[in-house]
Copies of this chain bind each other. A is one copy, B any other.
Amino acid sequence: VITPEHPWVWLNGRIVPAAEATVSVFDRSFLYGDGLFETIRIYAGKPFAWADHWQRLEAGARFLSQSLPCSAEALAGAASELIARNAVQEGLLRITLSRGVGRRGYSPRGADHPVLVLTTHPAMANDPASPIRWRLMTSRFRVATGDALSVFKTANKLTHVMARAEAEAAGADEALLLNSDGHVTEAASANVFWLAGDVLRTPPLPAGVLAGVTRARVVDLAPAVGLRCEEVSVGPADLLAGDGVFLTLSSLEIVPVVSLDGVGLRDSPWPRRLHEAYRRAVALSTG
């Protein structure tokens, strides 16, 4: 049995021991994945980019017509309390929002007692000077092009779970997901970028892409390090032909990709430059 690494959980306003943090078997996120979540990096005991994560969570809740049972400020207070209780300096904070218990069936009518959970987890250190590097594998699982749900971090992640498991079974670290048109969208747990000279490319959100918080930061940082950024829909061959591929995710920041489907990718100085710029922004924000 896998036991949680941190002893305390915040559940609907109360901090409880992890073993007592439970939800009903009639909860709609358990039954249908009818929920949302955020994974936030904690640096020096503080959640990073809180406003961006809150904004995505709130936009998702509005889109799903779920109610968020507290304000950004109240939830930030709860997060601080939990981080202190679990004594987290470097780690991760997960916010989980479920529509809660409803009537049997897909209709969400009448399910108006949401469940909100905060958990903390250890984070892996990732040094820009000698970063974690991943082997990527194109998955046979595809997302629907133009799926309006893709931009939100919903609790419907079975495609991503299966893609990751498929990649790991094949000896890779992470999966590359294509959409139903065969275009690159994202990795299972990260957004994807690739380089063509001094042009930085990433797929547009409507291709079926999560609106990643780190993705948006990297797009913002690109001009400052000398990169021009473009959103384009391409097949995986364009990643193989380019000048380097990397992934962005809150937990590990920037992860260079060493190979795609077993084919070695060009090494690039840009992921490191962007990673260092990202770290400077983190340092500024955490004082």
Contacts and interface: CB of A to CB of B under 8 A. Distances in A.
Contacts of A29: 30-31, 33
Interface in A241-272: none
Interface in A114-131: 117, 119, 121
Interface in A149-198: 149, 154-165, 168, 179-181, 188-189
Best-surrounded residue of A27, A29, A164 (most CB of chain B within 10 A): A29
A46 to B, nearest CB: 20
A148 B141 contact: yes
A107 interface: yes
Interface residues of A, number: 71
A143 interface: yes
Contacts of A121: 104
Given A21-B24, A22-B23, A25-B11, A34 B111 contact: no
Contacts of A64: 158, 162
20 contacts: A4-B26, A9-B25, A11-B25, A22-B22, A22-B23, A25-B96, A29-B31, A30-B30, A30-B35, A30-B98, A32-B33, A33-B156, A33-B158, A64-B162, A107-B165, A141-B148, A147-B159, A156-B156, A156-B158, A179-B180
Interface of A: 1-2, 4, 9, 11, 18, 21-35, 37, 64-65, 92, 94, 96, 98, 101-111, 113, 117, 119, 121, 140-149, 154-165, 168, 179-181, 188-189
